[in-house]
Amino acid sequence: MSRKASKARSITSRDVAELAGVSLMTVSRTLRTPELVSPATRKRVESAARKLNYVPDLAAGSLSSQRSGHVAVLLPSLRHAGFLRTVDGLSDTLRDNGYHLLIGDCYYSVDQQLELLRMLLGRRPEAIVLISGLDSPAAQDLLARAAVPVVETWHWPDDPHNMVVGFSQFDVGRAMTDSLIEKGHTRIGFLGALGPFDPNGEQRRQGHLAALRSAGLRDDIQSSVGKAPMEIEDGVKGASWLLEHFPEMDALACASDMTALGVLHECRRRGCAVPEQLAIAGFGDFDFAQYLQPSLTSVRLPSYRIGQLAAQLIVATISGEAPSPAPHCNLGFEIIHRQSTGNHDSLLSYSSSAP
Amino acid sequence: MSRKASKARSITSRDVAELAGVSLMTVSRTLRTPELVSPATRKRVESAARKLNYVPDLAAGSLSSQRSGHVAVLLPSLRHAGFLRTVDGLSDTLRDNGYHLLIGDCYYSVDQQLELLRMLLGRRPEAIVLISGLDSPAAQDLLARAAVPVVETWHWPDDPHNMVVGFSQFDVGRAMTDSLIEKGHTRIGFLGALGPFDPNGEQRRQGHLAALRSAGLRDDIQSSVGKAPMEIEDGVKGASWLLEHFPEMDALACASDMTALGVLHECRRRGCAVPEQLAIAGFGDFDFAQYLQPSLTSVRLPSYRIGQLAAQLIVATISGEAPSPAPHCNLGFEIIHRQSTGNHDSLLSYSSSAP
DNA sequence: CTGAAAGCGCTTACAG
DNA sequence: CTGAAAGCGCTTACAG
């Protein structure tokens, strides 16, 4: 009677077996491979299971089959529309193949990331998807020794751990600033979180700087306001600071569409005309970007597709097939020019590099 | 050389025990209750565990301890900023108390909901949080027999299953329309998903209708464009349809801020002045609402707080304490008037009803 | 402070 | 087509 006090015991396969008058493994078989069971027995087991509202204990099943049936995804933040789309893509494709998705949200924290990775590994996932890489040697070491398939996404590492489905953040930063340069801007700023907590943002900043340098333009217009994930208010404050210190700035590339929205707002407040006085570009092509006034130039990422392909790679790898797409996919991105950089109609610029 | 036969065996506590020269349960004890182990032994075990990069199998642990260590949340959509905040609140508080969160995204589908509930139950969660209720008798039945603590959130049921932390969607709908009536509007429309897939939205619509009826105003201005979750484009289309069919409409309550943004956009395109010709109200007070032009009147919900309180209730319930807050909390909501309903400065109206 | 035994609820070979 | 045995990797009492 020890453990009965606190908690009602769950229905187990033994209960079902007894009610149906069969053995344990006939119950298991009926649920997993009904075609190997005679119709009469099957019917009896199924009705017993239904009557008892039997829900098999997945943990017990995983333990004995040594297959957890789930895939883990580690991401910097759920408050990011793009990452969420990737999660959707993963989730949809994985579910169609019988896997469940375990989500680990790191809140852009290196410590959280390590702790979460450890906990996810403890659930013995059959594969791990990384949305934008591991940020500490400890985490990298832990994963390296875990002997589990890994798909990195949302970036394009020089030295991939295993599989990759992504695009180059550096290229995004460079392409956006190149396009601003082409439009004749010469005093172009960057507004994003500085520092090591958002490696992807840092990559874009490096791309931005590279573009400026190869055009021989000044590269000192940037602010260190806010940290990832950059929100609207960071855009307001960052714009305020930049407009004070660099009144000559004529274009600004932002860390995200959120930030860009804050910048738009601050410009309106100060009577700074967009795009005439200041051209503004975001990142992520959030839902609202094209409905703002002025509509916002941004970078569209293949977010859902990333999740979908990553899931396909995983399914193929686990089942031992040759990876369905190539195990290293660079999906590219699109720059969408809208009113905030002086385009009347939205115009598509495309960029992608197959591996 | 692919992947070492099918799968490299994981490191188990037995491996650690051997390396440290102790028994299995000394390893377990060192990890769970280090204070009961002698410092010397502890050190040996810890260093062995570190050397092997040992990550305990949580499924095995759950099975033998009969405590899964996780709590499940079932929600209509992750693409909803408010629900995401609730998830954050749950996740933060639960983590502080040693529980992990399992997320089930139903995509606003009744079938998905049932299937997900079954799968979550299969992981033997120690409690379940429902963001806005179960939509099928089958799901209700399944949960009722599962003998697991349940917290319903984001609504205010007449007949609660167990615990509740929420607010009345009906009251929200009524309060918003009442406030539009107070401002002198008489031809007030509603733009939301009709039908059974979004019970919360339907509740708000009923509240809206009740407000109109008790004021003796007409209640026929509504559209059936789109379905939950209503997106920006549904707002564009819905507004277009409503403005065609009811050109006399002078105010519009929308299903969400997303929808309202689409409405704003369509009004701009048609030269319909907001708020002079048409007052517009949203729902959810999304990040961007106050940064739009005109800024958007909306309803602010205690999203994060809901998650936090729900988690506290769960922790208390599991540990057998009296529920820390009352087990039925009505947290109320706030209507925030902004420019889209003719307010120059944002003005707070408050509404809440303690149980 | 440490360990041998039993068991959590399933599934995987293997017999029949 | 069906079942008795062994075991997945831990933890929970219980001895010592």
Q: Between B283 and B10, where is the model more confident?
A: B283
Query: Taking the alpha carbons of A116, A117, A121, A122 in that order, is the dihedral positive or negative?
Result: negative
First to last CA, chain A: 63
List chain A residues with CB under 8 Å of B55.
Answer: 118, 121-122, 142, 146
Confidence of residue B351 (pLDDT cuts 50, 70, 90): very low
Task: Kindly determine whether residue B232 and residue A288, on different chains, have CB atoms separated by under 8 Å.
Answer: yes
**C-alpha distance from residue A147 to each of A52, A150, A153, B23, B268 (Å):** 40, 9, 19, 26, 56
Q: Is the pLDDT of residue A17 over 90?
A: yes
Confidence of residue B5 (pLDDT cuts 50, 70, 90): very low
Residue with smallest Cα–C1' gap to D8: A64
The DSSP string of A78-118 is: SS-HHHHHHHHHHHHHHHHTT-EEEEEE-TT-HHHHHHHHH
Q: Among B60, B56, B68, which Cα is nearest to B314's?
A: B68
Q: For residues A304 and A298, what is the distance between their CA atoms, to the nearest angstrom?
A: 17
Confidence of residue A4 (pLDDT cuts 50, 70, 90): very low
Q: For residues B61 and B82, what is the distance between their CA atoms, to the nearest angstrom?
A: 34
Answer whether B54's CB lies under 8 Å from B38's CB: no
Residue A36's Cβ-side half-sphere holds a number of Cα atoms within 13 Å equal to 9
Answer whether B176's CB lies under 8 Å from B299's CB: yes
Q: Where are the alpha helices (DSSP H) in B183-231?
A: 199-214
Residue A23, nucleotide of least CA–C1' distance = D3
Q: What is residue B15's predicted lDDT score, i.e. its pLDDT? A: 93
Could you tell me the maximum CA-CA distance found in chain A, to the nearest angstrom? Answer: 84
Residue from B57, B93, B296 whose CB has the most chain A CBs within 10 Å, to mutate:
B57
Question: Residue B312 carries which side chain, given as an amino acid letter?
Answer: Q
Task: Give me the CA A12–C1' C7 separation in Å, rounded.
Answer: 14
In chain A, the residue whose alpha carbon lies closest to the alpha carbon of B236 is A291
Residue A36, nucleotide of least CA–C1' distance = D1
Q: Is the pLDDT of residue B204 over 80?
A: yes
Measured to protein CB atoms, the chain D nucleotides within 7 Å are 1-13
Q: Count of A–B CB contacts within 8 Å?
A: 110
Q: Is the pLDDT of residue B338 over 50?
A: yes
Tens digits of residue pLDDT in A182-229:
999 999 999 998 766 788 999 999 999 999 999 999 999 998 888 888
Identical fold for domains B13-56 and B169-300+334-350, yes or no, is no
Cis peptide leading into B275, omega within 30 of 0? yes
H-helix or E-strand spanning residue B340: none
Q: What pTM does this model have?
A: 0.91
Residue with smallest Cα–C1' gap to C6: B64
Q: For residues A250 and B186, what is the distance between their CA atoms, to the nearest angstrom?
A: 47
Query: Taking the alpha carbons of A310, A153, B81, A337 in that order, is the dihedral positive or negative?
Result: negative
Answer whether A129's CB lies under 8 Å from A72's CB: yes
Tens digits of residue pLDDT in B221-270:
998 888 888 899 999 999 999 999 999 999 999 999 999 999 999 999 99
Confidence of residue B197 (pLDDT cuts 50, 70, 90): confident
Q: For residues A328 and A32, what is the distance between their CA atoms, to the nearest angstrom?
A: 35
Choose among B124, B231, B293: nearest Cβ to A57. Answer: B124
Task: Give me the CA B36–C1' C1 separation in Å, rounded.
Answer: 7
Q: For residues A237 and A324, what is the distance between their CA atoms, to the nearest angstrom?
A: 46
Choose among A6, A103, A287: nearest Cβ to B232. Answer: A287
Q: Quick count: other Cβ atoms within 10 Å of Cβ A83?
A: 25
Measured to protein CB atoms, the chain C nucleotides within 7 Å are 1-13
Q: What is residue A196's predicted lDDT score, i.e. its pLDDT? A: 67
Angle between the N-to-C axes of helices B169-182 and B199-214, in degrees from 0 to 180, rounded to the nearest 10: 40
H-helix or E-strand spanning residue A251: strand A251-254
The full set of domain ranges for chain B reads 13-56, 69-167+303-324, 169-300+334-350
First to last CA, chain B: 65
List chain B residues with CB under 8 Å of A89.
Answer: none
Question: Residue B238 carries which side chain, given as an amino acid letter?
Answer: G
Q: What percent of chain A has pLDDT over 90?
A: 79
Task: Kindly determine whether residue B60 and residue A56, on different chains, have CB atoms separated by under 8 Å.
Answer: no
Q: Among A351, A283, B264, B234, which Cα is nearest to A340's?
A: A283
CATH class label, B69-167+303-324? alpha beta
Protein residues closer than 7 Å by CB to strand C? A 9-14, 24-25, 28-29, 31-32, 54, 56-57, 60-61, 63-65, 67; B 22-26, 29, 36-38, 40-42, 60, 63-64, 66
CATH class label, A13-56? mainly alpha
**C-alpha distance from residue B156 to each of B165, B168, B333 (Å):** 8, 5, 12
Hey, is B170 helix, strand or coil? helix
C-alpha triplet B131, A88, A70: angle, nearest 5° = 85
Tokens of B39: 């410092």
Answer whether B169's CB lies under 8 Å from B82's CB: no
Task: Kindly determine whether residue B60 and residue A58, on different chains, have CB atoms separated by under 8 Å.
Answer: no
Q: For residues B24 and B30, what is the distance between their CA atoms, to the nearest angstrom?
A: 10
Residue B63, nucleotide of least CA–C1' distance = C8
Architecture of domain B169-300+334-350: 3-Layer(aba) Sandwich (3.40)
Strand partners, B101: B71
